[in-house]
Structure 1
Amino acid sequence: MIKSKSSGRHYYGHTSDIRERIKSHNSTQNRYTRGKEPWKLLGYKECETKAEAMKAEQKLKSMKNPNRAFQWLKKNGSVR
């Protein structure tokens, strides 16, 4: 879960390299996040498989409320 410091928007995704993904979002490489940088990592959940990661991403997206998603990450993952 990342948050744009400039727009206040949240973004949920999955990756195998979290540091590179944050760099990507803070550059112009990602179409959705471009122009809304800087992005800050709020929390994440480590997963064993890509399927598990995709399931966690969909769970966060289905919550529709960033506060609920953040609380879920506090309980089930890691927050910063």
Structure 2
Amino acid sequence: MYSANADKYYVGHTSDMERRLNEHNSNQTRYTSQTAKGWKVVYTEHFGSRSEAMKREREIKSKKSRKYIEVLIGGGAG
């Protein structure tokens, strides 16, 4: 997910993307803040199991790189 207001990306896994997006946009998560509003889905991957999804999430987060995320989503958030 990406918040243009905060210019931030969020990487996570979920079995219900719509619910998770709504949680972020209504500040119902510990990762959202008053400045990070207007989250939108900019990239998704689908996996056969939760463990596979968690492994991929850790891989993306281990890069600690905004550029890596932007390459995944095609070069930018807009």
Q: Which runs of 4+ in 1 moved over 2 A?
A: 69-74
Q: How many residues align?
A: 74
Contact kept in structure 2, 1:28 and 1:34, CA below 8 Å: yes
TM-score (norm 2): 0.82
Aligned-pair CA distance for 1:63: 1.3
Aligned-pair identity in percent equals: 34
Q: CA deviation at 1:71?
A: 2.4
The CA RMSD over aligned residues, in Å, is 1.8
TM-score, normalization by structure 1: 0.81
Secondary structure in 1 matching 2:26: coil
User: Any unmatched runs of 5+ in structure 2?
Assistant: none
Q: How far did residue 4 of structure 1 move?
A: 1.1
Aligned pair 1:34/2:39, yes or no? no
Contact 1:27 / 1:34 at 8 angstroms: preserved in 2? no
Deviation at 1:26, TM superposition (A): 0.4
Asked if the contact 2:24/2:39 (under 8 Å) is kept, the reply is yes
Given that residues 43 and 70 in structure 1 are in contact (C-alpha distance below 8 angstroms), is that contact kept between their aligned partners in structure 2? Answer: no
What is the correspondence of 1:1-80 to structure 2 with a 5 Å cutoff? 2-35=1-34, 36-72=36-72
